[in-house]
Chain A
Amino acid sequence: MFDIFGYHFMQNALMAGLLASVACGIIGAYVVSKKIVFISGGIAHASFGGIGLGYFLGISPVLGATGFGLLSAIAMGLTTRKTKLPEDTVIGILWAAGMALGAIFIGLTPGYTTDLFSYLFGNILTVPDSELLLILILDVVILGVVALLYKEFLAVSFDEEYSTVIGMPTEKIYLTMLCLIALTIVVMIRVVGIIMVIALLTIPASLARQFTHNMKKMMALSVLFSIIFTFTGLMLSYWLDLASGATIIITGVVIFALVIAIRKLISSRGLPSKKM
């Protein structure tokens, strides 16, 4: 039954799942705590423009998505801060603009775009070695920046007004955080695809928040939950012959719903809910 682990594609899939979980567990903790889920969804969808551009230029679509994702992260961050437009309006516009550009680029590209579907919905079973290396590099970058700016990220997420008052460059820190979200999205494209990225940024972190109010513990738990979802989903999709990305997400949603329901049941019976 565990013979499948002998296959190279399965080893790559597990490795990609593990590396993606590290990034999305850590960054997801900020996304959930700072309540920037919608802006993260916007960055994810806008980076589809980069996938299209990659096809059009004949370069790696993942590379295109990296550039496009970073660009749209900065564009969203700056437009929401510098103009008086409502934040959700700006996000909605850039979200659709990125996707539209992607569609146009793909339309302009001659020939058949073979694995377009896997960028949108993920296909963890087809991760090539080269992409695994890219994911590893991005993981190192994400971890390095979070380690360097841990106290700044925490301060800006918790109380941006106070952070500005005490002289922190809050806007630059916020933009850096959005760029890390963009990189995390790139890391996860193969695992769950652009459309469903937002689920892995929110479900593990939000579940982790149920058990702790300490940011570092929340990150660690969130990584752990993400690994559990990815591995369980991957196995289920293999055995049941279902789409891997979607199965990973549904696994997460079901576990999340169960945990919330059980905790609700326990607390309504008057038992104290213990927190770390």
Chain B
Amino acid sequence: MTKEKEIVKFKGVWAYYNHHPALQDINFSIHEKDFLGIIGPNGGGKTTLLKIILCLLKPRRGTVTVLGKDPCESRSQIGYVPQKSYFDKNFPIDVWQATLMGLYNQTGLFRRYSRGDKKKAEEALERVSMLEYRNRQIGELSGGQQKRVFIARALASDPKLLLLDEPMESVDPKVQGELYSLLKELQQEMAIVLVSHDITAISIYVDEIACLNQTLVYHGTKEISDEVLEDTYQCPIHLIAHGTVPHRVLKEHL
């Protein structure tokens, strides 16, 4: 089997937030069809890491490449699903218009969406099973449905990398399970990275886990030790599995 293509590569990356180090010497790679979960406490640098990948922030030191290029040049190849809370539920926009937004990079400033753009938006909604809701106002949907629409918005531009920020926050366990199986399907075509402060949000569907608290401890395998988690969170952590989402059983680190 040929070596999988490198989608993201961090090499000796340092970043600062208000003069405090947010990321210290981060080294890791994400390959084609990887499914990586990055967990860590709030303020641990997760947002900074995402911002660097999304070209919203330049690292102080080190190099970052996305699809072999500078993150800013690869921006159109990344699909981003933001945290839930940042939009107005009453905003006059329907599912269709919200999904089309994801095509901005293809369409460009001043241009109208083309027929091809609309076809892509339609396919993206179809993939997340939300096409029948295309005329619904966004706030009328359930939390899980909204999440699906935002995934469709990210998928519309045919990304090679899908970034999800706290995707399981305030989503009930049943819907979490559905979202995970959707992501698992999408993994056939792209690398997926999800970021969360909630360790219970990382299900067994996630192939690899990295713990981030200024430094990154990367676990290429399917296991993670209490010790690493404690180091990351700096307080004792108990792993609790609940609901219908299957969670991994974590082994003792030798």
Taking beta carbons and an 8 Å cutoff, which residues of A are in contact with B? 29, 33, 35, 148-152, 154-155, 157-159, 161-169, 209, 212-215, 218, 275
Contacts and interface: CB of A to CB of B under 8 A. Distances in A.
A151 B97 CA distance: 9
A161 B86 contact: yes
Contacts of A161: 82, 86
A215 B110 CA distance: 18
Contact of B94 (A150, A151, A214): A214
Nearest to B76: A167
- Chain A CB within 10 A, most for which of B88, B92, B105, B107: B92
A166 B92 contact: no
A149 B110 CA distance: 6
B63 interface: no
Nearest to A29: B92
A213 B94 contact: yes
A167 B75 contact: yes
Interface residues of B, number: 29
A215 B104 contact: no
Contacts of B94: 213-214
Interface string B99-135: 0111011010110110000000000000000000000
Given A35-B88, A166-B102, A275-B137, A154 B97 contact: yes
B17 interface: no
B72 to A, nearest CB: 8
B80 interface: yes
A213 B101 contact: no
B56 interface: yes
9 contacts: A33-B91, A35-B88, A155-B101, A162-B80, A165-B54, A165-B82, A167-B55, A209-B90, A215-B97
A150 B113 CA distance: 11
Contacts of B54: 165
Contact of B110 (A148, A209, A212, A214): A148
Nearest to B87: A159
Give the top 9 A-B pairs by smallest Cβ distance, nearest first: A213-B137, A213-B92, A155-B101, A159-B87, A166-B104, A165-B80, A158-B93, A158-B91, A167-B75
Interface of B: 54-56, 75-76, 80, 82, 86-88, 90-94, 97-98, 100-102, 104-105, 107, 109-110, 112-113, 137, 153
Given A35-B88, A152-B109, A218-B92, A158 B56 contact: no
Nearest to A152: B109
B105 A166 contact: yes
Contacts of A213: 92-94, 137
Contacts of B55: 167
A168 B104 contact: yes
> Which of A151, A154, A157, A212: most chain B Cβ within 10 A?
A151
Nearest to B111: A151
A166 B101 contact: yes
Nearest to A219: B92
A120 to B, nearest CB: 32
B96 to A, nearest CB: 10
A159 to B, nearest CB: 5
Nearest to A209: B92
A212 B98 CA distance: 16
B75 A151 contact: no
Contacts of B86: 159, 161-162
Given A162-B86, A163-B104, 20 more contacts: A148-B110, A151-B113, A154-B93, A154-B101, A155-B101, A155-B104, A158-B91, A158-B93, A158-B98, A161-B86, A162-B101, A162-B153, A165-B82, A167-B55, A167-B104, A209-B92, A212-B92, A213-B92, A213-B93, A275-B137
A204 to B, nearest CB: 14
B56 A165 contact: yes
Contact of A162 (B76, B82, B90): B82
A214 B54 CA distance: 30
B87 A167 contact: no
Contact of A214 (B92, B104, B112): B92
A169 B54 CA distance: 14
Among B101, B110, B153, max chain A CB count under 10 A is at B101
Contacts of A275: 137
Nearest to A217: B92
